[in-house]
């Protein structure tokens, strides 16, 4: 699904020099490299505070921990996402409250927010799924009208920009009160191990989160809250700093590969190509088709026999998994997410795809629909 080896081959000298420098200085944690990457990412994101951490799941947990919520407070999110989003809500004794997604863009449908609002609602976590932004403008308006926090789960769309109706542009992850991301190797900005980060334009939230990631410490061995241990190490920061400079190029390559797929697949019977909402750029973390009539398992098996990987993200929406059904959910509650789970198929997508490889993938797919 991704080709990290070819990508590495293009940058291996820079990576090896950076790794050697870390070995020579022995600054493995909280060293200069981590500070440099943090500052560069902050600048890339238009000046938002950046707090590095150990992974994208921690990032969401830490964001929630900084909001001083009470057990049973409700956090609204989508059931059509990676489990991490809902998992940390439940882990913190908060209540995950799902709303269905838009069938064209696969992201949280803001028209549904009013249906789940209660006097315990505190937070909305929209997920910018597959590289496509959730509609942040209506979500922020709803949040502001109802006194809710917004945490953007931006694990899949770093580098995408959002355009508001007044023409103002913001980087995804810096629009909500807090934004989170993952630098898992296969993400658009991927480390060579686990890594993550949290963003905020709010100075006091940023200060709280810096304390949460470091055991709740404010001064040396003084603890003001319950925290966690979640750090970015120097080797990962070095990789990320090198790849950050190329992120826009990588995302452009993904966008071009997506356009190429769509130019050959648009209009094919039983295939719906991914759409780009008019309010944002799409950075195609995944290129995800809907197969409305084909036998998806059969198509996947045929692709696999031809040496082509494919993915189903996600084969079952979260509300149908046992730990989340415990909150009273059942089949039929979120029909769009349920239908998408039956229809979606993701094709290989990364910064190193060539038209020749894509032609092969497309020809095998078309023969087996
Ligand atoms: C990858 C991902 C996460 C979790 O990130 P990790 O670094 O694997 O912990 C959270 N949310 C979404 C939407 C993701 O895709």
The predicted model gives 299-326 an average pLDDT of 97
CA of 187, closest atom in ligand 1: 1
Give the chain's end-to-end CA distance (angstroms, integer): 20
The predicted model gives 27-33 an average pLDDT of 93
The predicted model gives 157-182 an average pLDDT of 98
Same domain, 213 and 273: no
Same domain, 145 and 204: yes
Place of tokens 């542009």: 169
The predicted model gives 31-52 an average pLDDT of 97
Same domain, 234 and 350: no
245-250 long-range contacts (CB < 8 A, ≥24 apart) are 246/11, 247/44, 247/158, 247/159, 247/188, 247/189, 248/159, 249/351, 250/7, 250/159, 250/188, 250/189, 250/351
Ligand 1 mutation target, pool 55, 84, 185, 283, most atoms within 8 A of CB: 84
CB 81 less than 6 A from any atom of ligand 1: yes
Domain stops at, among 224, 244, 264: 244
Same domain, 251 and 237: no
- Structure confidence by residue, pLDDT tens digits, 73-110: 999 999 999 999 999 999 999 999 999 999 999 999 99
Q: Which two tokens stand for residue 116?
A: 């789940």
Same domain, 98 and 149: yes
- Structure confidence by residue, pLDDT tens digits, 276-309: 999 999 999 999 999 999 999 999 999 999 999 9
pLDDT at 169: 97
Same domain, 231 and 286: no
- Structure confidence by residue, pLDDT tens digits, 261-270: 999 999 999 9
State the distance from the centre of ligand 1 to the C-alpha of 366, rounded, in angstroms: 31
CB 82 less than 6 A from any atom of ligand 1: yes
- Structure confidence by residue, pLDDT tens digits, 133-154: 999 999 999 999 999 999 999 9
Same domain, 44 and 27: yes
The predicted model gives 334-358 an average pLDDT of 97
Strands 74-77 vs 95-98: parallel, antiparallel or unpaired: parallel
Global pTM? 0.98
pLDDT at 265: 98
Same domain, 164 and 275: no
Domain stops at, among 211, 244, 277: 244
Residue 30 has pLDDT above 90, yes or no: no
CB 88 less than 6 A from any atom of ligand 1: no
State the distance from the centre of ligand 1 to the C-alpha of 8, rounded, in angstroms: 22
Same domain, 230 and 97: yes
pLDDT at 63: 98
What percentage of the chain reaches a pLDDT higher than 90? Answer: 99
Q: How many other CB atoms are there within 10 angstroms of residue 13's CB atom?
A: 8
Q: CB-based contacts of 248: which residues, under 8 Å, 6+ apart?
A: 159
Same domain, 205 and 299: no
Same domain, 183 and 202: yes
CA of 184, closest atom in ligand 1: 7
CB 190 less than 6 A from any atom of ligand 1: no
Domain stops at, among 221, 244, 267: 244
Same domain, 202 and 303: no
Domain containing residue 115: 4-244
The predicted model gives 177-204 an average pLDDT of 98
**CATH number of the CATH domain containing 187:** 3.40.640.10
Place of tokens 């959002």: 162
- The total number of structural domains that make up the chain: 2
Q: Which two tokens stand for residue 172?
A: 């995804």
């Amino acid at each position: 699904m991704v080709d990290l080896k070819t990508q590495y081959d293009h940058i291996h000298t820079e990576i090896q020099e950076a790794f050697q420098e870390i070995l020579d200085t022995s600054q493995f944690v909280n060293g200069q490299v981590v500070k440099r990457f943090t500052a560069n990412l902050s600048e890339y994101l238009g000046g938002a505070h950046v707090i590095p951490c150990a992974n994208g799941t921690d990032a969401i947990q830490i964001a929630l921990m900084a909001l001083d919520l009470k057990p049973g407070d409700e956090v609204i999110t989508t059931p059509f996402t990676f489990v991490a989003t809902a998992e940390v809500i439940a882990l913190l004794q908060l209540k995950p409250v799902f709303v269905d997604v838009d069938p064209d863009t696969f992201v949280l449908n803001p028209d549904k927010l009013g249906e789940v609002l209660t006097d315990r609602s505190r937070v909305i976590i929209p997920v910018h799924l597959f590289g496509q932004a959730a509609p942040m403008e209506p979500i922020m308006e709803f949040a502001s009208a109802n006194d809710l926090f917004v945490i953007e789960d931006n694990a899949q769309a770093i580098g995408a920009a959002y355009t508001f109706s007044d023409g103002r542009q913001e980087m995804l992850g810096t629009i909500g009160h807090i934004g989170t991301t993952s630098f898992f190797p296969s993400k658009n900005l991927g480390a060579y191990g686990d890594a993550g980060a949290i963003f905020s334009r709010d100075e006091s939230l940023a200060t709280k989160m810096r304390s949460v990631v470091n055991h709740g410490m404010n001064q040396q061995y003084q603890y003001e809250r319950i925290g966690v241990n979640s750090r970015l190490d120097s080797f990962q920061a070095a990789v990320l700093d090198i790849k950050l400079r190329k992120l826009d190029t990588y995302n452009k390559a993904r966008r071009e590969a997506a356009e190429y797929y769509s130019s050959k697949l648009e209009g094919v019977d039983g295939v719906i190509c991914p759409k780009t909402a008019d309010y944002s750029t799409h950075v195609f973390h995944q290129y995800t088709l809907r197969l409305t009539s084909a036998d998806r398992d059969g198509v996947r098996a045929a692709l696999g026999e031809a040496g082509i990987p494919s993915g189903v993200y996600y084969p079952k929406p979260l509300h149908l998994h046992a730990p989340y059904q415990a909150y009273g959910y059942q089949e039929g509650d979120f029909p769009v997410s349920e239908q998408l789970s039956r229809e979606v198929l993701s094709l290989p997508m990364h910064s190193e795809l060539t038209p020749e490889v894509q032609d092969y993938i497309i020809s095998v797919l078309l023969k087996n629909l």
